[in-house]
Structure 1
Amino acid sequence: MADTTGRTALRAHGRRVASALGGRQPSGTRHPLVAVAMVMPLAILLSVVFGGWEAVLTQASSVAGMLGR
C-alpha cells in the first residue's frame, strides 16, 4: 500500500511541476506509429551493431501480422 501511495504522490507532483512549467498533461497513451518511429532508430542501430537482420525481419513480420488483424 505504501508503494502505491508513494508512486501516486510522485506522479501528482510531476503533474504539478509540468503544469507550472506550461506543459500539457500526459494522456498516458501514444499512437502506435509514434511508438514505432521512436523505437526504429534504436532497433536499426542494434541490428547493425550485432548483425541481427534476420531476427529484426522476423520480429517485424510478427508485429506486422499482429497489427494487420
Structure 2
Amino acid sequence: MADTAARTMVRTQGRKAFAPFGSRPSSGKRHPLVATVMVLPLAALLAVVFGGWEAVVTQASSVGVMLGR
C-alpha cells in the first residue's frame, strides 16, 4: 500500500479549519437567555407533537410558585 498519511499532512498544514458560519472563534460561553431562546421553539414543538403540553404547563407553574416564595 502507498504511504498517503505523509502527503495528507503536507496538504492540510496550510489550511484553516472549516467554519460554516463565519470565522468567529467559539469561546464556549453563551448567555443563558440566548440558550433559552434557542431551545424554547424546539421544546414547544416536541411538547405539542408528543402530547406533553399539560406536563409542561404543570412543571412551569410549579417552578413559578417555587420562585415566587
Relative to the length of structure 1, the TM-score reads 0.52
Match of 1:8 in 2: none
Counterpart residue type for residue 63 of structure 2: S
Match of 1:17 in 2: 17
Identity of aligned residues (%): 56
Structure 1 residues 32 and 22 mapped into 2: Cα distance closer, same or farther (>3 Å)? closer
For residues 1-69 of structure 1, the aligned pairs below 5 Å read: 16-17=16-17, 23-57=23-57, 58=59, 61-62=62-63
Cα deviation, 1:8-58, whole Å, max 9, x if unaligned, reads: xxxxxxxx5157x96121011110111111111111111111111122220
Match of 2:11 in 1: none
Normalized per residue, which structure has more helix?
1
**How far apart, CA to CA, are the structure 2 residues paired with 1:60 and 1:37?**
19
Relative to the length of structure 2, the TM-score reads 0.52
Counterpart residue type for residue 62 of structure 1: V
Larger Rg: 2
Unmatched segments (≥5 aa) in structure 2 = 1-15
User: What SS does the corresponding residue of 2:17 show, helix, strand or coil?
Assistant: helix
User: What SS does the corresponding residue of 1:26 show, helix, strand or coil?
Assistant: coil
Q: Give the count of matched residue pairs.
A: 50
